Every structure is written in C-alpha cells, then in structure tokens.
Amino acid sequence: MKKPELTDVGWLGPKDEMDRASHRFGKCSECHEIICVEKVVTDTQNTQPETNEMLYKAFRTHAKLKHGPNALHADIA
C-alpha cells in the first residue's frame, strides 16, 4: 500500500470572500475519508498558515491511526 496523501484541499465558504470561509478540508487519497478543521482564530488577519497546519496535523493523525503499520484493517459492513 502506498503512503496516503491529503488531496482535494479547499475552503468551505464563498469563493469570492475567503474571510467568511469557516473550515478547511481535504480528502485522504487511500480511503477517501474527508478531514475537516475549523478555521483558526489568530491575532492577525491571515489565518491560512495556522489553519493549514491544523489540517495537516489532523491528517497525519488520521494516516497514523487508519493507515499506519499498527492500524486495524477491519472493514465494517
């Protein structure tokens, strides 16, 4: 199995005004599960770096738990 990647990353909200976007999301390339985080509140107007960092941290946790060497690979029907 190849290493999972975060794909189809985007913002949830209107494209014309990113200030109103509320969440950042992406999809796991292996299991197609959606990973979503709420936009970070910061002291600056640019919240993108911190929000991206949180999304990728959540994805790394997902990949470790679901696709890591110690993950349980039981399919639930």
pLDDT digits (tens, 9 = 90+) for 29-58: 999 999 999 988 888 888 889 999 999 999
- pLDDT for 77 equals 43
Half-sphere exposure for 57 (CA within 13 Å, toward CB)? 8
Work out how many domains the chain is built from and give that number: 1
Q: How far apart are CA 15 and CA 40, in angstroms?
A: 18
Task: Name residue, tokens 């990949």.
Answer: 63
- pLDDT for 44 equals 82
Average pLDDT over residues 55-76: 84
Domain residue limits at 49: 6-67
- pLDDT for 59 equals 98
Does residue 1 lie within any of the structural domains? no
Does residue 39 lie within any of the structural domains? yes
What percent of the chain is modeled with pLDDT above 90? 53
pLDDT higher than 90, residue 64: yes
